[in-house]
Structure 1
Amino acid sequence: MQEELKRYHSILPIIFIPICLLILVTYGWAGYATLTERPGLNGSYYLYYNLSMVQFYIYEFIVAFIALALIIAQISYSIKKSPQYLTITFWSFAVFIALVIVCEIYLESRLTGKG
């Protein structure tokens, strides 16, 4: 049985999918640049956080894959017109963003300036 979506259920994916795409591209590129040892800031940013290369790109790829999973969930639940699951993905997104912010604050506290 499909329910009719309320207006905010239709607006949520329009707002959150671009945010998740930005997170996916940003963190995915930083992880890829670290994994392939590309020159430049993204390829050596793990040094500024006092992390190993493996620790840093695992963190970057985990964040990118969670963002991708949220994009897929938002799209599929929008197509299925499932307001209950759209609400769950909204709260999952909120928890995800809060965890990313906490992790970034922690990493910034470990930041060592080079130069």
Structure 2
Amino acid sequence: MWYEVEGFVRRQLREPAQKIITPETRLEDLHIRSDDADHFVDLFFLRFGIEPGDYDRSRYFPVKGPWPVRLVRKFTSERRNGSVRVPLTLRMLTTAARLGEWRTESVERAERR
């Protein structure tokens, strides 16, 4: 499964073969920012048949909008969820592809191993 995920990432982001990409690579290391994240993740879920489950983009990417909106969302989101932003890695995407569904606890646990 890893090689399929790696190939998808390279094709979508036009990453050269000589660039080292590992399961530990974070999407932000590949210059995927908040604006591009939704589109990339949607394509990834579609390509690998992943149900969104409990996927919450604000857990992995900064909130969008004008700065006052971002500021309010940031603090209310962190208070409500009791969490801060988690880096989204290719290992997490690979785990979701294996599971066929985004299960935050399982996907993030796989990253910590």
Fold equivalence (TM over 0.5): no
The alignment's TM-score, normalised by the length of structure 2, stands at 0.30
Greater Rg by CA: 1
